[in-house]
Amino acid sequence: MYSIISTEELVPRVRVYRISAPRIAKKAAAGQFVILRVDDNGERIPLTIADWDVVEGSVSVVFMEVGTTTTKLSRLKAGDTISDIVGPLGNATEIDNFGTVCLMAGGFATATIMPIARAMKAAGNRVITIVGARNKDLLFWRERLSAVSDELIITTDDGSAGRKGVVTEPIKEMLERGERIDRVIAIGPSIMMKFSALTTKPFGIKTIVSMNPIMIDGTGMCGCCRVSVAGQTRFACVDGPEFDAHAIDWDNFMARQRSYIEEEKRSLEICRCPSG
């Protein structure tokens, strides 16, 4: 059993949990994830490691209350325990002094971008971070990101914070005016990552995305997290989760993500009923 040290609601339905997991904290790196089960009968879900503290022996995960397991997880409080947490899993983000790195986060992927921005800045890069959300009420960690970014750009769909528009517009403008960007990392909803790839491809900018397919065991055995990359099958849990955005079959990937929508709805209905 793993103890929850603290919980915090960052924005409505998005929470950060600090969990005691000393061995995972000792090995964690930017871009990696854990798989956890809320209880012995629960499903296994992957969550990105948003932060870690080797001295305290803790890892932090950020999640949105959207499905059955995240709903159950959201009901826990500091001092409660979760059944299992395994990690760190996946390959860490490639960190080097590339020059100018543009990091793009859609929605609550801010949590995933944060440790990458910190590592890229420490490696000597000029870091431009672009965060997009539907409105200002869904933004979090702006001060933390600003501290590790040379430039922080906020976009909102309704214009309630930063500039009005989608997250891909600022980088498109930068590239069109000839500003040099040596690497792009885009993380967020699949549609956002797809359009990030389409935006940078004409300019030949190396673009990396972190894939979030259906995942079960996290060891490459089940095959559920397969992703078509340059015409070959790759597994996000062991070959990723990061891949070349320009090589991904996005239509296939997005179709596979919709495979169990009806089953997920029924499961959530049971979870939310009084006897669930």
Q: What is the pLDDT of residues 119-148, one digit of tens each?
A: 999 999 999 999 999 999 999 999 999 999
Confirm whether residue 273 is marked as ligand binding: no
pLDDT at site 1: 85
Percent of the chain with pLDDT over 90: 80
If we measure between CA atoms, which residue out of 234, 238, 243 comes closest to residue 210?
243
Do you find a cis peptide bond into 115, omega within 30 degrees of 0?
no
In sequence order, the β-bridge partners of residue 115 are none
**Per-residue confidence at 256, pLDDT binned at 50, 70, 90?**
confident
The class level of CATH for 2-89 reads mainly beta
Per-domain residue ranges of the chain: 2-89, 100-257
pLDDT at site 257: 73
Cα angle 173, 174, 175 (rounded to 5 degrees) comes to: 95
Confirm whether residue 222 is marked as ligand binding: yes
pLDDT over threshold 60, residue 90: yes
> Model pTM?
0.91
pLDDT at site 102: 98
Confirm whether residue 225 is marked as ligand binding: yes
For 100-257, CATH gives 3.40.50.80
Amino acid at 39: D
pLDDT over threshold 80, residue 245: yes
Beta strands 58-64 and 45-53, pairing class = antiparallel
Choice between 128 and 42, residue whose per-residue pLDDT is larger: 128
